[in-house]
Chain A
Amino acid sequence: MSSQAIARARRRADFAQVLREPVVVITILAIFAMLALFIIYPIYAVFRLSLTQDGGFSTAVYQDLFSRVRYVRSITNSILLGTVVATLATIVGFVFAFAIYRGGIRFRGFFQTMAILPIISPPFMFALSVILLFGRNGLITARLLGLDTSGIYGLPGLVLVQTINLFPIAYLTLSGILQGIDPDVETCAMNLGASRFTVFRTITLPLAKPGILAAWLVVFVSSMTDFGNPIMIGGSFDVLSVQAYLEFTGMGNLPRGAALAVLLLIPTVMVYFLQKYIMGRGSYATITGKSSKRGKPNSSPALRALLTVFCLGITVIVVLFYGTIIVGSFVRLWGVDWSFTLRHFNYSWDVGLSTLRNTIFLALIATPITALMGTAIAFLVMRKRFPGRNAMSLLAMLSYAIPGTAIGIGYVLAFNVAPFRWSGTAFILVTAYVFRHVPIAVESGIAALKQISPEIEESSTNLGASSARTFQNVTLPLIKPAFFAGATFSFVRSMTAISAIIFLVSARWNHVTVLILAQTEIMRLGVASVMSFILILIIMAVIGIMMKLTGLKRDQVFSSGQ
């Protein structure tokens, strides 16, 4: 038999094995059906609308778009913003990771916390802080410097806010990479006489390169798809996500909104897969013998001081941003009347309580579903052989790369007509949360399963346990931490979601982030601050409770935030 024939025979045997387990077959089919309905179909609806005119296929909408300066500029603006932010955030993330894992700076625990804290903030919260600090009435610009400037609205403000918001993603990717580089290699080089800089340039940096590129690409996508920050402080710097939203919901030009969403979707999906490819291709781990894993920090005292100052500087900004929101909650009228008040809390209580309750309620429903589904997909993909296995993991991960704006528009288009009349219901919000965040759970599930040798499970089966029993007694306990970490993080994401959700909220089911945006829009900044503050408190409380209950470490929770 040729090797191909053997492979084919094996595949057939594997498949026959799967077919013997009806539960597995049903699960596979159900997952495929759901992925098709809640990811493929809505995206198809967006494409269809953007390519239809007078009932027939047409590229007229796109031709019209590209003939108008405003839209062409929003494309170039999005790319410009993504490029600048990705570069800055990757640098900041790298310096943080290097300082903590290689630089030997002090207070590492503290800096680790500061480097991941921004990840749990709603995506527009820092924009609000920046308005309070650097706006026309900003504490720093107007009060301390006496400037009269609206300069923070637009590219500069967006770069500042997104860099702080997104550098933790780069940090998490890069700290993983740096930890994977065996310090012995560096130590050896130094023993052979290389200077610290030579070691960094010829060893550390080349080994980290795929990680740096991957981090850059992930941040690029996150910046392009960000909606909360640009709508708040974008000013007249138009970007695609905001343009698509305004066309779709503000101007009532649905085909144009859909086309803009497609234009946003194509580069993000491409870049996402490019990043997957880069991370998957090169093995950037170093192959060595037994390592002491305790290298000396590759830094001189001067460098350590420099790194500490840098990290401290970023930390000050992060703390300042959070502090501003807290202070803003208690100030009567920012920039005009600085007296202490609780009236924003009263107002928020009146306006926002039921919305907040609904937001938490829906996030709590979505979270276990997301985690269960993600774990199920991870398990099937890693442990079962069946046709379409790769397609399943691809589909499940796809919604990571699809901008929320496109998903939101897709859900409006797809699920407002028979047979799927779900608009205005809680159901549509829950499905949006689940399918937006299922990649988080899949990813952490896969990561956990990768570390568990299938042989452990095989031994259990060989000893006579059924497949189900093996899963229950062996696999499940081993992946439990990943399950809860994925669940915790998808809860955070559900609470802070806005880009897709803003299309789907209704009179009955509003979302607290949409409410905060509305308050900012009408310049009730005190109320917006209170609501952001409370949202952050709830998220921290939930993370704290989850860590207590499940014994998860902070790093485990946040590593699913990449």
Chain B
Amino acid sequence: MKKAMMLGLVALMSATVLFAGGRQEAGQRITAYTTLDEELARNVFAAFTRETGIQVDWVRLSTGEAVARIEAERANPQASIWYGGVGLGHIEAKNKGLTTPYNSPAATMPEQFRDPDGYWSGIYAGPLAFASNNNVMERLGIDAPDSWEALLDPRLRNQVQMANPGSSGTSYNVLATMVQVHGEEGGFEYMERLDRNITQYTRSGSAPGRNVAIGEVGVAIGYAHDIVRLIAEGYPMTMTVPEGTGFEVAAVSLIANGPEDQQEAARKLFDWALGETAAKLYAEQFVVPFVDVPLAPGAVPIREVNVIDQDDEWAAQERARLVDKWNDTIGASARTE
């Protein structure tokens, strides 16, 4: 009996090994990390599978998480493509040697929105904007803030929310924008003053917008397309785009040394991500893709906004240092109320 028990144990253990290793199935299958909004990711991958028959296993990770995950798995990459996520995260991945170049025939967007060496390609662009909850603004008796300066209004104390610049690409974009506009000292001074109005730094960049939608906080800093979508869902909120704002170029990259048998399918997905079908799906979610497709009502094309001359290469190189500095100064001041 003991023998049988041990045999059973060994058999079960080896069964899991076999079953873990033996998942090369007949149909093509690829693994993707995505930073697209969960709902958009579902639509996009479902459409891709319908069109090509290639199954996509995916996890949603924030930009920071995606870079960290790919780096941790460097010796044995699990996924072959990183789809979506702030462009400077993709630049950082490139600088760390985590991604691999691919000159997609579909990469026809303006040059500033793709990597000169072909490491990443932009899929859409969107400006940073503010979301304000109408009811909260009414209660506070103020207008929705429409400039970076207005965000510092003392009446907005404990009413503003943004994500943690360490884990969220969106939020690092805010920090990098302020440093580019005001210089490092001025930028940090601004962040420090802003900090007085912040309730909480969330982990994901899209959380503050949702919190404004349901009235958990008054104002959020986020990407315009996230805010427009919430407004279209019927939440009582207003979007304002400040003069001189930063923007994201959501991008797609192939992961270096991804699983051998996924390479071809991954390139197919890469091309497809830059194509028209995908662009239409992005547009449905209120983003403005580089491919010319009908836009959703309320969507904000980047060319209609006064954006700063943003240097993503610089921002990517400085990320670790700026985030540490932010953590040491602003992130270190506790607000536990």
Chain B residues lying within 8 Å of A231, measured Cβ to Cβ, are 203
- Contact partners of A498 in chain B: CB under 8 A: none
Tell me, rounded to whole Å, the shortest Cβ–Cβ distance linking A396 to chain B.
Answer: 14
Contact at A252–B71, with CB atoms within 8 Å?
Answer: yes
Indicate if the CB atoms of A471 and B332 lie closer than 8 Å.
Answer: no
B207 touches A351 (CB 8 A): no
B47 is an interface residue with CB less than 8 A from chain A: no
Tally of chain B residues near chain A (CB < 8 A): 68
A residues near B (Cβ < 8 Å) are: 23-24, 26-27, 30, 68-70, 73, 135-137, 150-151, 153-155, 231, 235-238, 246, 248-254, 333-336, 350-351, 365, 368-369, 372-373, 376, 412, 416-418, 421-428, 430, 468-469, 471-472, 476, 505-508, 510, 518, 521-524
Instruction: List the A residue with the shortest CB-CB distance to B71.
Output: A252
Do A430 and B16 contact each other (CB < 8 Å), given the known contacts A350-B42, A417-B75? yes
Does A70 contact B331, Cβ atoms closer than 8 Å?
yes
Give every chain A residue within 8 A of B121 (Cβ-Cβ).
none
* Residue in chain B with minimal CB distance to A23: B3
- B327 at interface by CB-CB < 8 Å: yes
Ordered nearest first, which 8 A-B pairs have the shortest CB separation?
A472-B1, A250-B167, A427-B20, A252-B68, A425-B20, A523-B210, A424-B78, A507-B57
Nearest chain A CB to B146 CB, angstrom units: 23
A70-B332, A252-B71 as given contacts; A523 in contact with B9, CB under 8 Å: no
- Min C-beta distance of B156 to chain A, whole Å: 13
| Residues of the B chain whose Cβ atoms lie less than 8 Å from the Cβ of A524 | 210
Closest to B5 in A: A372
If A236-B334, A334-B214 touch, whether A426 touches B19 (CB-CB below 8 Å) is yes
Is chain B's binding surface mostly helix, strand, loop or mixed?
mixed
* Binary interface encoding of chain B residues 208-250 relative to chain A, with 1 for a CB under 8 A from any of its CBs, else 0: 0011011111000000000000000001000000000000000
Report A439 CB to chain B, min CB distance, Å.
17
- Are B57 and A351 touching (Cβ within 8 A)? no
- A428–B20 CA distance with the chains assembled, in angstroms: 9
Q: Are A154 and B337 in contact (CB under 8 A)?
A: yes
Contacting pair B200 A153 (CB below 8 A): yes
15 more contacts with CB within 8 A, not counting A137-B216, A251-B320, A416-B75, are A24-B2, A154-B337, A236-B334, A250-B166, A250-B203, A365-B12, A372-B8, A372-B9, A372-B12, A376-B6, A423-B76, A426-B20, A507-B78, A521-B204, A522-B210
Q: Is B69 an interface residue (CB 8 A)?
A: yes
Which of chain B's residues have a CB closer than 8 A to the CB of A417? 75-76
Q: Is the CB of A523 within 8 A of B216?
A: yes
**Contact yes or no, B6 A412, CB < 8 A:** no
B26 at interface (Cβ–Cβ under 8 A)?
Answer: no
**Residues of B with C-beta under 8 A to A151:** 337
Pairwise interchain contact B6-A26, C-beta atoms closer than 8 A: yes
B99 contacts partner chain A, Cβ-Cβ < 8 Å: no
Q: B30-38, B177-185, B271-279, B300-308: which lies at the A interface?
A: B30-38
| B2 pairs with A369, CB closer than 8 A | no
- With both beta carbons as reference points, the residue of chain A lying nearest to B331 in the complex is identified as A70
Asked if B197 CB lies within 8 Å of chain A CBs, one says no
Selected contact of A471 from candidates B2, B200, B213, B214, CB within 8 Å: B2
Who on chain B is nearest to A237 by CB? B336
Q: How far is the CB of B191 from chain A (nearest CB, A)?
A: 15
Map CB proximity to A onto B4-34 as digits: 1 under 8 Å, 0 otherwise. Answer: 0110111011001101110100000001110
CB distance from A469 to the nearest CB of B (A): 8
B335 at the binding interface (Cβ < 8 Å): yes
Interface mask (B319-330 → A, CB under 8 Å = 1, otherwise 0):
010010001100
